[in-house]
A and B are shown apart, each in its own frame.
Chain A
């Protein structure tokens, strides 16, 4: 009997710890697999092997932007030559790299809020030389650990979702944004349409009203005659 009570006490203690212990903070979450978030939302067995779902970060075929012919075989040599987003040193082999400034080649990456308003330099997030590619397995910028290794340096407690904030967003008005960030593009233009529509109605309305009242005398005096 005694042993049974001890067992229960242990269970109660475990339950108390579970209730009282603080939950995981955002930056403690691990995003070790592309399917993990999908699994959270899955109602069946909730587990899928990598090959069962559409691959996300590790694509067996790599589409080269601009080439447009679709898929190229993903081979180590091919990746080294063409795909800079997976290199240990993303600038490897670039001529005169030592004497360049970041914004010489990446001008669009230096006009966002973090750079302009918070006065961050590139290296404060991207690190010193060699700067690893975003998707290199050991890069701090790799989305599996970016939130904890980069974002959380300032945004204490940043989670993986938080880290999906686009630091270098495209110009939302630009047609390029339609491809890179369609949600931003559509919402921007919807809001702009509401704003422009309101002004298109009410600015001429106000202007005409002003002109009309300048011309039309207030009928105050005639009103008093009616009394």
Chain B
């Protein structure tokens, strides 16, 4: 039973998990307060707005949390700069542990698509799959789009000195469509891949616990596993499973986030015909 203790491989550092946790919480708050205002004509929207103290408070919270997210994004940006291996730059950006999209990812995406329709074996993924890299850069792009348009709209008196006032009409729709895209992607695709597909069910705890099950790495990411083995990094990367109490917290947080997201998604779709767009 000694293998019960050393069953996991480190995947995310504590700082990375903290970034994800802060992003997760603030994303849900932004989604809820934003949808509350968008759906304020419906009882569903009024209910969400009530949670946050009403229509006006929703906007106040939305703006402050938005600024908090942008600050976090800035900190993350400096974190990225600090984490880059500048000695091997720029070649180091194309390493196997890098989340930059590379030609290899197109090949793997193609092979994965063939696996999806059942005519090929599972591709030899390394540490990050192309869908995970896409998720990461989607947030990056979304942060810029939502942050810029959000700031323009939140400080409209000042921003209309820089851009023409009708630009706010445009910024509003960019903000709205990007928000729908982001929430749709997270609440359907990200949650399903992370939690609900059979091999991860009931939950992929990697982003909370920081580690993944060694067996699933061997099968889902064989190239990563072999690379660790070859470089003698495997021993250093192996860690124990979190205790029962901590795992319970992970499940509670993860499922709370998922149900919040599904509540926003389903309510948003069901009520979409009842609002003035």
> A-side interface residues toward B, CB under 8 Å?
26, 111-112, 116-117, 155, 157-159, 161-166, 169, 171-172, 181, 183-184, 187-188, 191-192, 194-195, 198-199, 202-203, 205-206, 208-210, 212-214, 218-220, 223-224
Q: Which residues of A contact B266 (CB under 8 A)?
A: none
25 CB contacts below 8 A, A to B, read A26-B160, A112-B276, A116-B276, A159-B157, A161-B160, A161-B165, A164-B164, A165-B165, A166-B169, A172-B173, A184-B169, A184-B170, A184-B173, A191-B174, A191-B177, A191-B178, A195-B177, A195-B180, A205-B113, A208-B116, A209-B193, A210-B196, A213-B199, A220-B215, A220-B219
CB pair B161–A209 under 8 Å, yes or no, is: no
Once the chains are docked, how many angstroms separate the CA of A220 from the CA of B113? 22
Contact with B116, one of A111, A181, A183, A212 (Cβ below 8 angstroms) = A212
Which chain A residue has the least Cβ–Cβ distance from B40?
A117
Stretch among B91-99, B181-189, B234-242 lining the A interface: B181-189
CB pair A205–B116 under 8 Å, yes or no, is: yes
Once the chains are docked, how many angstroms separate the CA of A220 from the CA of B174? 45
B169 CB, min distance to chain A CBs, angstroms:
5
CB pair A183–B170 under 8 Å, yes or no, is: yes
Contact with A169, one of B116, B117, B160, B169 (Cβ below 8 angstroms) = B169
CB pair A210–B192 under 8 Å, yes or no, is: yes
Within 8 A of A (CB), among B189-237: 189, 192-193, 196-199, 215-216, 218-219
Query: Contacts A164-B164, A165-B165, A202-B189 hold; do A155 and B156 have CB atoms under 8 A apart?
Result: yes
> B-side interface residues toward A, CB under 8 Å?
37, 40-41, 55, 113, 115-118, 131, 138, 156-157, 160-161, 163-170, 173-174, 177-178, 180-181, 184-185, 188-189, 192-193, 196-199, 215-216, 218-219, 276-277
CB pair A163–B165 under 8 Å, yes or no, is: yes
CB pair A194–B216 under 8 Å, yes or no, is: no
CB pair A164–B192 under 8 Å, yes or no, is: no
CB pair A155–B157 under 8 Å, yes or no, is: yes
CB pair B160–A213 under 8 Å, yes or no, is: no
Once the chains are docked, how many angstroms separate the CA of A183 from the CA of B168? 11
A60 CB, min distance to chain B CBs, angstroms:
26
Which chain B residue has the least Cβ–Cβ distance from A183?
B170
CB pair A26–B157 under 8 Å, yes or no, is: yes
Q: Which residues of A contact B117 (CB under 8 A)?
A: 208
Once the chains are docked, how many angstroms separate the CA of A181 from the CA of B172? 14
CB pair B219–A223 under 8 Å, yes or no, is: yes
Which chain B residue has the least Cβ–Cβ distance from A191?
B177
